[in-house]
Amino acid sequence: MPKNVVITGASSGIGEALAERFASQGYNLGLAARSVDKLDLLAEKLLQQYSVRIETVSLDVNDDARIPAVLDDLAKRLGSIDILVANAGIAGSRRSGTNDLSVDKAVFQTNLIGAIATLDAATNIFLAQGHGHLVGISSVSAFTPIPKSAAYSASKAALTNYMNAMRLELAGNNIKVTVIHPGFINTHLAPKMDKYPFVINADVAAKQMVHAIERKQTNPIIPALPWKGVKALLQIMPDSLMTLVMKNLVSKK
């Protein structure tokens, strides 16, 4: 029997690539994003290629009070939700000391509060139906802060810790929790990503992500190589060398 997966932020980037990958493997889709026009175009394209069911809905995760009703509606339209992917997110760049916290507030509202609200609403559904799989899209920057992207790094670190706490809390409830940590993925979210090392395209990343989700991995890093090694290296790197590396990284932005 086909499974049903709901993806937020599904109109572009990683969300769009995940939708296509899940559809190619026979999953029914519930697609949510701010731009329902883009979602409908994506749904039309996927329905021409795959024999799956697709439901679309307009959703801005910053309107967190609306999220439970939207997910409940998708659950009714699909029959159930087996997997929820909290993917909606934004990037933001700001130097410390500018006296303008608007970027930081927006990043935390979308990447953390919006994600938490989505995960919480899905958990309520999963507890009622007796099963489910929570998936959150974090980042390798959850492990290593990136200069000029302090809010983004911190929001992803908080999301990782929050979801790992959820896993412990929900143990025994037949609810799985997967926190995905992408490395450098070439999407509209970071338009100059081609200047960075180890960049992969969203469709390649999505294939690996879906594989990790199906295997119910807890904290996969996508792609595993070289980022697992990079993570281990950065954790033992002296502060002086870390500063030099990050200074060089920032100069590419």
Local mean pLDDT, 10-residue blocks, the chain (253 residues): 93 96 98 94 96 97 97 97 97 80 95 98 98 96 83 96 98 97 77 64 94 97 69 59 55 51
Q: What are phi and psi of 3, to 5 degrees?
A: -90, 160
pTM score, whole prediction: 0.89
Which of 27, 50, 152, 162 is the catalytic position? 152
Q: Side chain identity at 184, as an amino acid letter?
A: F
Residue 235's pLDDT is 64
pLDDT at position 238 is 56
What class does CATH assign to 4-251?
A: alpha beta
- Whole-number pLDDT of residue 68: 98
pLDDT of res. 71 = 98
Domain boundaries, the chain: 4-251
Q: Is 152 a catalytic residue?
A: yes
pLDDT at 200: 80
User: What gap in Å lies between CA 21 and CA 179, rounded to an integer?
Assistant: 18
Ramachandran sector of residue 181 (left: φ over 0; alpha: ψ -120 to 50; beta: rest): beta
Angle at 187 between CA 217 and CA 223, to 5 degrees: 30
Number of other CB atoms surrounding residue 110 within 10 Å: 21
pLDDT of 193: 60
Write down the pLDDT at residue 226: 64
Show the CA angle centred on residue 183, arms to residues 185 and 215, nearest 5°: 100
pLDDT at 109: 97
